[in-house]
């Protein structure tokens, strides 16, 4: 547990002071009782049970007071809460390198099987979209709740040439925010005003229609949608993947990356060509890190299936640091109320 205002914890020094004051008052009361009555009479009037019962209301009040002091410091704790992801975009690499068999039977076949299982286990209200990317990227299935359409889009995947991971991220982002603008022909796809941090325009630029500026939000703060990127991580064309992920980060969208393949890789041959394909984990870690998400490694078909099971639980239940001041305040109020009630009962000799 952490505290948002830890400097206020100094107020807890009042607790031992109150305990000392209470002990002082008890001893003073005892001296007064002995002065005006015989000690034997006092002991006879107060049984053993009454001796400790009379300390219960002050003890509850002290606990309530301590709880209120802790609440003032605004405590926060990691708790598991249901996530609110309403849209999940599956961005799948369909480049030629996905035909490699270092993940049996092939990278793409293992990926399709794992993704199918993931889709079937998602809550029915979650909208799922499918984006495929090779040299270019395209939305092969717009976000929908229809599981049959999603599975059909996954089943009709066909491999193509080149790998543009940056394009896959950008098209996935546009499926979530249709108003997003980017440049697929530049290594840095972000609009100029996003790069230099100023929303200004050149006086030579046309200003037919001024669009509202986008204000960046903290990475990972958008909890209504997420992107799951599955690839071997080797970019050969298109925008820079890290620069593309910055656009997602500026909108709070997390990009969970899944690396399929092995770092050693293998040689893949096609019609008159061959190339060595291997897993580039560093790029995928950077993409996930920039957006406040997580990278997962899948070196075998079984590991890939387990990764998607973990992703399913992560998107359904997520651990977050949440302020729990209200719990401390409510507990302190209940203890104070109970202390007052017991004091009243004690005063009226009901207990």
pLDDT one-digit tens code per residue, 134-156: 999 999 999 999 999 999 999 99
Please calculate the CA angle 75-2-16 and round it to the nearest 5 degrees.
Answer: 70
Report helix, strand or coil for 163: coil
pLDDT for 81-136, tens place per residue? Answer: 555 568 999 999 999 889 888 888 999 999 999 999 999 888 888 899 999 999 99
pLDDT, residue 296, reads 94
- Looking at the DSSP assignment, which residues form a beta bridge with residue 266? 277
Under a CB-based contact definition with an 8 Å cutoff, are residues 85 and 315 in contact? yes
* Number of C-beta neighbours around residue 278 at 10 A: 17
- Tokens for 277? 């394909």
Give the list of residues 6+ apart from residue 233 with CB closer than 8 angstroms, or none: 165, 257, 259, 261, 279, 280, 281, 282, 283, 284
* pTM to 2 decimal places: 0.66
The per-residue pLDDT for 319 is 53
Q: Where in 168-235 does DSSP place strands (E)?
A: 225-231
C-alpha span between 172 and 255 (Å, rounded):
10
Three-state DSSP class for residue 105: coil
Q: What is the pLDDT of residue 153?
A: 96
List the beta bridge partners of residue 225.
Answer: 87
Burial 148-174 (b: 16+ CB within 10 A, else e): eebbebbeebebeebbbbbbbbbbbbb
Q: What is the pLDDT of residue 207?
A: 41
- Position 204 scores a pLDDT of 43
* The pLDDT of residue 321: 57
pLDDT of residue 148: 95
Q: pLDDT at position 44, please?
A: 53
Residue spans of beta strands (DSSP E) within the chain: 2-3, 75-82, 87-93, 127-133, 137-144, 225-231, 254-260, 266-269, 274-277, 295-298, 317-323
Q: How far apart are CA 92 and CA 89, in angstroms?
A: 9
Residue by residue, pLDDT tens for the chain (351 residues) are: 777 778 878 888 888 888 888 787 777 766 665 555 555 555 555 555 556 666 777 787 788 778 887 888 877 775 545 555 689 999 999 998 898 888 889 999 999 999 999 998 888 888 999 999 999 999 999 999 999 999 999 999 999 988 999 999 999 999 999 988 887 777 777 665 555 554 444 434 444 455 556 688 999 889 889 999 999 878 889 999 999 999 999 999 999 999 998 888 777 766 666 677 788 899 999 999 999 999 999 888 898 888 888 887 777 655 555 667 777 788 778 877 777 777 766 665 544
Residue 175's pLDDT is 95
pLDDT of 327 reads 73
* pLDDT number for residue 177: 93
What's the pLDDT at 205? 43
């Amino acid at each position: 547990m952490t505290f948002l205002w830890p400097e206020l914890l100094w107020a807890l020094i009042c607790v031992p002071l109150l305990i000392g004051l209470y002990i002082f008052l008890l001893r003073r009361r005892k001296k007064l009782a002995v002065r005006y009555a015989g000690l034997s009479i006092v002991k006879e009037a107060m049984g053993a049970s009454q001796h400790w019962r009379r300390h219960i209301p002050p003890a509850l009040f002290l606990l309530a007071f301590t709880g209120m002091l802790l609440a003032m410091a605004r405590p926060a704790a990691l708790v598991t809460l249901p996530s609110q992801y309403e849209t999940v975009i599956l961005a799948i690499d369909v480049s030629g390198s996905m035909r490699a068999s270092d993940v049996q039977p092939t990278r793409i076949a293992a990926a399709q099987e794992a993704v199918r299982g993931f889709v079937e286990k998602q809550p029915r209200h979650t909208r799922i979209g499918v984006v495929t990317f090779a040299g270019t990227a395209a939305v092969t299935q717009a976000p929908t709740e229809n599981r049959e359409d999603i599975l059909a889009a996954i089943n009709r995947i066909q491999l193509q040439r080149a790998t543009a991971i940056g394009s896959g991220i950008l098209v996935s982002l546009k499926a979530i925010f249709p108003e997003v603008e980017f440049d697929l022909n530049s290594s840095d796809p972000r609009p100029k005003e996003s790069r230099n941090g100023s929303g200004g325009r050149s006086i030579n630029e046309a200003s037919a229609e001024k669009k509202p500026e986008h204000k960046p939000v903290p990475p990972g703060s958008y909890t209504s949608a997420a992107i799951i990127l599955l690839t071997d991580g080797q970019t050969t064309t298109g925008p820079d993947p890290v620069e593309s992920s910055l656009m997602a980060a500026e909108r709070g969208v997390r990009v969970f990356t899944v690396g399929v393949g092995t770092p050693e890789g293998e040689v893949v041959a096609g019609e008159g060509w061959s190339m060595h394909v291997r897993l580039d984990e560093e790029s995928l870690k950077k993409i996930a890190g920039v957006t406040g998400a997580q990278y997962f490694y899948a070196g075998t078909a079984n590991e890939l299936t387990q990764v998607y099971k973990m992703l399913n639980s992560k998107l359904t239940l997520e651990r977050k640091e949440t302020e729990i001041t209200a719990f401390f305040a409510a507990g302190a109020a209940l203890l104070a109320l109970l202390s007052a009630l017991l004091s009243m009962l004690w005063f009226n000799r009901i207990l």
